[in-house]
Structure 1
Amino acid sequence: MPSYSKYTVHTILRAIGKGSFGKVCIVQKRDTEKMYAMKYMNKQQCIERDEVRNVFRELEILQEIEHVFLVNLWYSFQDEEDMFMVVDLLLGGDLRYHLQQSVQFNEDAVKLYLCEMTLALDYLQSQHIIHRDVKPDNILLDEQGHAHLTDFNIATIIKDGERATALAGTKPYMAPEIFQSFVNGGTGYAFEVDWWSLGVTVFEVLRGWRPYDIHASNSVESLMQLFSTVSVQYSPAWPKDLVSLMRKLLTVNPEHRFSSLSHMQTSPYLADVNWDAVYEKKMEAGFVPNKGRLHCDPTFELEEMILESRPLHKKKKRLAKNRSRDNSKDSQSLISAGNDSGDFFFLSICLKKKKKTDLNTER
């Protein structure tokens, strides 16, 4: 990352989540009082887990994209210990959290999620990006109930005519051709895999379980057998047009799968959708998260405060001690604190601070 050239000031409010590559907390920028989510990743752990390339690929992708139904990057920076990404803060929780809270989403709510994710995936495809991890855990709701796709740490970029080949994703949501390519050395896969994942996600959010009984422990070979022998059982209560659309998303052959906005717009189930209104967030959400509570697992905060060996709120004292010990006068970044609640200054600059636009005016 480049050297820093300007101050940004954040107050750390609380931890709200963690993923395979780091943790997330709510921060407030003091000069504007605007709140963000800040993802931070320990450099040493990234090196030990051989994850550095994935982290920088995620950063590279986030720097180049911006969409109303994505969780967008504002800026990034680093200090001696960690790398940080400051992104949109969405306080409505992810769909996994709400499923675990036994929320029963009605069809109208899920139909809107389907439309919003359709626009997000179609945009990513226009940018040559395969997300590779579309699932309820990675779809966040804002306070009005609109869906946003997040977590690009295993996403990849493919140019025209290229194919991806890596076995990447979360098994229950991975498309058959990903496993096929891994087992038989096939031709690889492309954007269609994200649309399969969207189909699995929509099915799960509507029914409460996934269309295939797949777990992380399943072998790749057994999954290939499963896709060739097991038929998806759709709810008899679903409208026939919805079932027809789900069949198009969960088609094993990617060549016959719905995998673009133009495909989705041919579905009778979506014939009444005003896509401009969806993009402009003018469609009323069928499920609006309770604004009186924080929609995340409270143990994240406890883990950060009690179990974490190098908690973020103690960073200022820890780094000051390290600098004193090393007698370093040329520190890469400067951190100072306002109080023991975790306020701290970062001398920082974004790798490529994006020009934020009015997301509702560009298509």
Structure 2
Amino acid sequence: MFYPRGQICYSFSVDWWSLGVTAYELLRGRRPFHIHSSSAATDIVHVFHTATVTYPPAWSKEMVSLLHQLLDRNPEERFSCLKDIQNFPGLSHINWDAVLQKKLIPEFTPTKGRLNCDPTFELEEMILESKPLHKKKKRLAKRVKDNGKNRTALNGNLQKHLDTVERDFIVFNREKSKQDLIENQEELSEDQTKEEDGKNNNL
């Protein structure tokens, strides 16, 4: 569903599908498909092919139509390039030349002097990574190097939270825990078999 028939790989066009998923989640507060990080790949594919995306009646027809085009299961029908977006009737009022030349003034510009997101999401991201502080420190170090500035007090405050997470929370790997349980059960079964064989030999 991510590449046309006859092809064995996908290209940048899949990013337009991701844009549709992201736009839907931003508007509705949840994803268009009921899947989780723990969902098996086969289950995800099944959901993509069978689930029906629902749209709230309060959304405009133009928005629903645009999302429908971005989330179309058929890659040959789905929007897959900028030209498709530019030709969409609901966006005909946009000056695309100005967009490409970055001349449009955005309706919202984040403030540089303070955090523009909920720190909880930063912490959740760190918890899900196998080596959260290692990766976060590398990103922060690169950011400081690129900007040519020292770490701000804001980053220092965030680092304190990350240190707390590393100290108080244990990274939980569900798949590894499941595999360890299976291996322990197999070892226990082998020990029991050996013990029974030993008893039989003594008879």
Normalising by structure 2, report the TM-score: 0.54
Q: Which amino acid aligns with 2:73?
A: V
Contact conserved, 1:241 with 1:267, CA < 8 A, in 2? no
Which whole-Å CA distance do the structure 2 matches of 1:202 and 1:210 have between them? 9
Answering whether residue 23 of structure 2 is matched by residue 195 of structure 1, we say no
With over 3 angstroms needed to count, the CA separation of the structure-2 counterparts of 1:231 and 1:307, relative to structure 1, is: closer
With over 3 angstroms needed to count, the CA separation of the structure-2 counterparts of 1:228 and 1:307, relative to structure 1, is: closer
| Root-mean-square deviation over aligned CA pairs | 3.1
The counterpart of 2:56, out of the listed 235, 244, 255, is 235
Q: Per residue, is there more helix in 1 or in 2?
A: 2
1:253 aligned counterpart, secondary structure: coil
Residue in 1 that maps onto 2:78 = 257
Q: CA deviation at 1:275?
A: 1.1
Q: Per residue, is there more strand in 1 or in 2?
A: 1
Answering whether residue 99 of structure 2 is matched by residue 278 of structure 1, we say yes
The counterpart of 1:302, out of the listed 132, 156, 160, is 160
Alignment of 1:32-51 (within 5 A): none
With over 3 angstroms needed to count, the CA separation of the structure-2 counterparts of 1:282 and 1:237, relative to structure 1, is: farther
Answering whether residue 114 of structure 2 is matched by residue 293 of structure 1, we say yes
1:277 aligned counterpart, secondary structure: helix
Gaps of 5+ in 2: 117-153, 168-203
Contact conserved, 1:204 with 1:210, CA < 8 A, in 2? yes
Query: Which protein shows a greater Rg?
Result: 2
Q: CA deviation at 1:263?
A: 0.9
Q: CA deviation at 1:187?
A: 2.5
Q: Deviations over 1:261-308 (max 9, x none)?
A: 111111011101101222333323233323441338876422677788
Residue in 2 that maps onto 1:217 = 38
Q: Deviations over 1:196-240 (max 9, x none)?
A: 001111111122211112111111111122122211111222221
Which whole-Å CA distance do the structure 2 matches of 1:207 and 1:297 have between them? 30
Which whole-Å CA distance do the structure 1 matches of 2:32 and 2:162 have between them? 35
Contact conserved, 2:17 with 2:70, CA < 8 A, in 1? yes
Q: CA deviation at 1:242?
A: 1.7
With over 3 angstroms needed to count, the CA separation of the structure-2 counterparts of 1:308 and 1:233, relative to structure 1, is: closer
Q: Deviations over 1:334-363 (max 9, x none)?
A: xxxxxxxxxxxxxxxxxxxxxxxxxxxxxx
Q: How many residues align?
A: 128
Residue in 2 that maps onto 1:47 = none
Contact conserved, 1:192 with 1:257, CA < 8 A, in 2? no
Which whole-Å CA distance do the structure 2 matches of 1:297 and 1:198 have between them? 29
Q: Which amino acid aligns with 2:159?
A: E
With over 3 angstroms needed to count, the CA separation of the structure-2 counterparts of 1:284 and 1:238, relative to structure 1, is: farther
Which whole-Å CA distance do the structure 2 matches of 1:245 and 1:279 have between them? 20
Which whole-Å CA distance do the structure 2 matches of 1:297 and 1:226 have between them? 40
Q: Which amino acid aligns with 2:160?
A: L
Residue in 1 that maps onto 2:68 = 247
Contact conserved, 2:48 with 2:73, CA < 8 A, in 1? yes
Gaps of 5+ in 1: 1-176, 310-363
